Every structure is written in C-alpha cells, then in structure tokens.
Amino acid sequence: MKSAIPETGVPITPPAAGNGGDRQETSLHGEVLLRLRDYVVEGNIPEGARVPERQLCDMLGISRTPLREALKVLAAEGLIELLPNRGARVRQLSQRDLEELFDVMAGLESLAGRLACELITDEEIAAIERLHYEMYGHYLHRDMHGYFRINQQIHESIVAAARNETLKTTYANFAGRIRRVRYSANFARKRQRWGEAMREHEAILDALRRRAASELSDILFQHLRNKRSAAIDHLAEGQDAGLETKPQGD
Amino acid sequence: MKSAIPETGVPITPPAAGNGGDRQETSLHGEVLLRLRDYVVEGNIPEGARVPERQLCDMLGISRTPLREALKVLAAEGLIELLPNRGARVRQLSQRDLEELFDVMAGLESLAGRLACELITDEEIAAIERLHYEMYGHYLHRDMHGYFRINQQIHESIVAAARNETLKTTYANFAGRIRRVRYSANFARKRQRWGEAMREHEAILDALRRRAASELSDILFQHLRNKRSAAIDHLAEGQDAGLETKPQGD
DNA sequence: AAGACAAAAAATGAATGCAAAATAGCTCCA
DNA sequence: TGGAGCTATTTTGCATTCATTTTTTGTCTT
C-alpha cells in the first residue's frame, strides 16, 4: 500500500452508538468537513500527495458521497486542489501564494484594527494590555512557545473587537490556510526580529489606546508585512536546507 | 406546483450533443457550480425561498449528486444556507450582515489600494485616469448606469493593480454576495452623495498618482464606508416602502 | 534491454436506490 | 367549525452501483 496518509483514523461515529460529544453537529457531511479540515490543516497529509477517496472513506468510516461533498468545500476554501479525474491533493503553497496570503491576512488585521477603534471598550483594551504584558514576560524569558500563543490571542482579540462576524470567519479561514507554515515559520533564530516585533506590539497597543484607527491600521499592516518577510525568509532557508515543513504538535 | 423558481432553466449540456460553448470546463459539478452561482447571484430565486433539489436537478438536467456538491460549495461561500434536513435557502442578508459585508469589502479595497501603490505602473494609472474621466462624463450627464459600470471597473482595476490573485478572488467572492443588493442600492436619488463620491474618487486618483499607500488606504476605506451608509439607508427606505429587491437586467 | 503498445486494475464522476426525516393532507374529536 | 393527532407523500441524507477515465502492469517489438 502506497498510502500517503498516516493511519491515525478513527471512525467518525462509533458505528451506531450515541455520539459521545455534546457537539450537536448534525449531518455526517458537516462532521466530515470539520474532521477533514482539521486533518489537513494540522498537516497530517503530505503536501501535494494524492489522497485516494477510498482511503479517506475507510479512515472516517463513511461512504464516498459525503466525503466528496466535503472535499469540494475544502477545495473552495483553498485548502486542497481538485484535479479533474485525478483526485484531490493537499494544496501546495508556493512562495508567491504565501506572500499573497500573508498580505491578505495583513489587510484583514489592518481592517480589524481600524474597526476595533470604533467600538472597543476600555475593558477590552485592558484585557489586551494584560495579554501584552504576559507576552512580554515570555519574551524576556525567551519562551518562544508561550510568546506565540499569547501573540495569537492578541491578534484574535483585535479581530474580535472589530465586532464583525464576517471578518472573523474570513480571518479564521485564511489563518487556517497558512497555519502549517506559520508553525514552521516561527523565525526561531531571528532574535532581532523578535525585539522588533515586541516594539511593534507596543505601538499597536498605544494606537489602540488612543483609538487612532488609521494609525493602527498602518501599524498592523506593517507588522504583518514584517512577519511575512520573516516567515518567507525562514521558509526559504528551510527549503534550501532541505528541511520539510514537518508537522509538529500543538 | 408551488415552485419558487422561475422556469428559466436550460439543461446544462444539450443532452448528448457536443457542448456548444468552447468553455473547456470539464466536470459536470464545476459547470453546475458556475451556473448555480450565477443563477443565485442574479437574484432568480427569491430570498429565503425553499429550493427543492429535485427542481434544480430538472432545471439543470442533472442528477442530485453533483447538484448537492455545488450546493455545499455555495453554502461555504455564503450565498445560500443549508438547513439540516430542510434543504437550501437563498441566504437572507440582514442589515447587520450587509454592514459587515460592506466593511469587509472596504477592508479589501483598502488593502488593494495599499498594495497597488507598491507596484502600479504609470500606464495602469493612466488607464484608471481614463476611466475616471469617462466616469466623470457619465456623472455630468447624470447617466447612472454608465457611471456605475465605470465605477466598478475602476475599483476592479485597483484590485487588479494590487497583483494579488488571492485578494482578487476573495474580493470577487464578497462582491458576489452583495451584488444583488448593490444593484438596488444605487443611491438613485441621492444626488448629493453622488457628488461626494466623485470628489472621493478624485482623492483616490490623486493618492494613487503619488503612490501614497497609507493615505490611499484611508481614502478607500472611507469611500466604501460612505457607500455602505448610502446603501443601507437606501435599502432601509426601500424596505419600509415595501419595495422588494427586484432583480434587474445587467 | 529499453521503449511502446495493450489489457487489466483502480480510481473518479455521476446516477440510482433506500432509509430517515420533514412536510402535507386527512380524519376525528371537541 | 377549528384544531389535534395520525397517516401518506415528499424531500433530504447517505450508500451503492454504473460508466469513464486514469494508472498500472505485462507483453511485444525493435
């Protein structure tokens, strides 16, 4: 068997027992969609690898119909590619694709900041401040993992403060697309960039406190632009060195 | 028959003859997707109306499998809703939904402007200038339809100048979602707003000439924000007056 | 022995079939 | 006469089946 998929599969619903989780998710195909999306996003399938439907069906314990529906949706989301008569592959992101994705993310966060300034409460800002100082602590301790976790929380808080569900959903979609590279692009050794990022975050917080929408928008865009450069650089190095974007646990 | 769909249906492929169009689009489901998307976007199905699968199948001359795949994709795109066990409905956009969508569009155009400033050529700017003056002509002649057509071309040119296919696709997606309301939201009577819009467009062009990215970003956002207000106002009036968003030809 | 052709096997795309859920239609009762 | 409850029809969700297309494998030719 030349399977490209590691055998991590667990059937979706223990064949006929009540589904243990309280997730009221109806419809098999919806469940399949969630499962498959996570499965792809988390990098369980090698990029560009062909993914036989049958195998996924066996893995998920379903028939091809709902699976194919889910695949179509994932393709529309940009996570996978569907080649006519030749099956599905995990979409391979070129450097250009990544640049584009980062830029769109930058635009979305920039927008989020702008909108957030309109209605954000003092409490929300205070919460972000707390996250900021927590992140600063991780920075001082050189705790990369903790830093990144809080960093994401800050950005998500800003998106949440924009009070725009459509934006939030779109943001989450794009975040999912680049999640795998994001992991590997933690500019691990770029100490200098790290310091820069901290300063940028201070500027973000400052602009947010003053509700300076336009300014915050600029800062966020530039911040993400810099992140993009760091990620692309890191990735390019990694590729040159032959390092694959290996999936790594959360 | 209580059909909600007007009988405009033409089978996708003249049953067994070679497909007349040179559109090499393979795969029935892809064709169905395009057809159905247009069909929905153009407002052929009343909002919120239930749409039996069978009827769409008959209309398109296909079986339910590819149709359902297309429906799932359209749902993921936000054009329709899929209620479990209760079929598909054309998504009804609340006023809040529209506000959110307009804001996201504003963010995307704002981003497009910012990016465009980085690489746009003098020729591209000249082309936009030509469009601008053409639009100005329509403005002077109070030719609403022509004005709007060129207006869209200008905005699309800016998005194109951003040189970001991902952005372009995303933009197109959102544009499709609000297309039906856009038509009806031509702030038809708002002469004052029209003049404002023209002035904003001049500012856009000015910033673009100077490649003033940040400034252009602000102007575009504000421009779209104003458009949003006009659209929402108009729509609210229309609803009060009981005017439905009736589809109108291109 | 290498490449080309052909047949077999497998995978995809779409249609059909079947069970469960929802809607409608109808009867019966207050 | 109006409404609650039950039955019948329709509709949805998923599995299965069938027809093409692709891929693989084996053989033959040069």
Whether residues B185 and B225 share a domain: the answer is: yes
Which of A64, A69, A104 is best to mutate for the B interface (most B CBs within 10 A)?
A: A104
Q: What is the pLDDT of residues B27-44, one digit of tens each?
A: 888 899 999 999 999 889
For residue B249, tell me if it sits in a domain. no
Residue B43, Ramachandran bin (φ over 0: left; ψ between -120 and 50: alpha; else beta):
left
pLDDT at B143 over 80: yes
Q: What is the pLDDT of residues A6-43, one digit of tens each?
A: 544 455 543 333 333 334 457 888 899 999 999 999 88
The CATH code of the domain that includes B191 is: 1.20.120.530
Are A84 and B111 an interchain contact pair (Cβ–Cβ within 8 Å)? no
How far out from the chain centre does Cα B171 lie? Answer: 9
In whole angstroms, what is the distance from residue B73 CA to residue A169 CA? Answer: 16
Domain count, chain B: 2
Q: Which one of A92, A125, A144 terminates a domain?
A: A92
What distance in Å separates residue B176's CA from the closest CA in chain A? 14
For residue A43, tell me if it sits in a domain. yes
For residue B47, tell me if it sits in a domain. yes
Min mean pLDDT across B24-38, B83-97, B155-169 is at B24-38
Whether residues B103 and B163 share a domain: the answer is: yes
Secondary structure of residue A82 in the 3-state scheme: strand
Whether residues B16 and B84 share a domain: the answer is: yes
Whether residues A104 and A228 share a domain: the answer is: yes
Q: Protein A6 CA to nucleic acid D17 C1', in Å? A: 30
Which residue is the nearest neighbor of D21, CA to C1'?
A85
Q: Which one of B38, B58, B92 terminates a domain?
A: B92
For residues A239-243, average pLDDT: 50
Are B104 and A166 an interchain contact pair (Cβ–Cβ within 8 Å)? yes
| H-type alpha helices, chain B | 28-41, 53-60, 64-77, 95-119, 122-140, 144-161, 165-177, 179-184, 191-209, 213-240
In whole angstroms, what is the distance from residue B32 CA to residue B12 CA? Answer: 8
Q: What is the pLDDT of residues A147-176, one digit of tens each?
A: 999 999 999 999 999 999 999 999 999 999
Whether residues A1 and A100 share a domain: the answer is: no
The CATH code of the domain that includes B5 is: 1.10.10.10
Does A68 contact B at CB distance below 8 Å? yes
Whether residues B107 and B226 share a domain: the answer is: yes
Whether residues A116 and A202 share a domain: the answer is: yes
Domain of B68?
1-92
Q: Which one of A32, A66, A92 terminates a domain?
A: A92
For residues A174-201, average pLDDT: 79
What distance in Å separates residue B89's CA from the closest CA in chain A? 17
Are A77 and B72 an interchain contact pair (Cβ–Cβ within 8 Å)? no
For residue A198, tell me if it sits in a domain. yes
Whether residues B40 and B147 share a domain: the answer is: no
- Residues in B 141-170 with any Cβ partner in A closer than 8 A: 164-167, 170
For residue A48, tell me if it sits in a domain. yes
Whether residues B67 and B134 share a domain: the answer is: no
pLDDT at B11 over 70: no
Whether residues A147 and A75 share a domain: the answer is: no
Whether residues B68 and B117 share a domain: the answer is: no
Contact between A184 and A246 (Cβ < 8 Å): yes
Q: Could you tell me how many residues make up chain A? A: 250
For chain B, how far is it from start to end, CA to CA, in angstroms?
29
For residue B246, tell me if it sits in a domain. no
Q: Could you tell me which residue, B7 or A55, shows the higher pLDDT?
A: A55
Whether residues B128 and B31 share a domain: the answer is: no
CB-facing half-sphere around the CA of A160: CA atoms within 13 A: 11
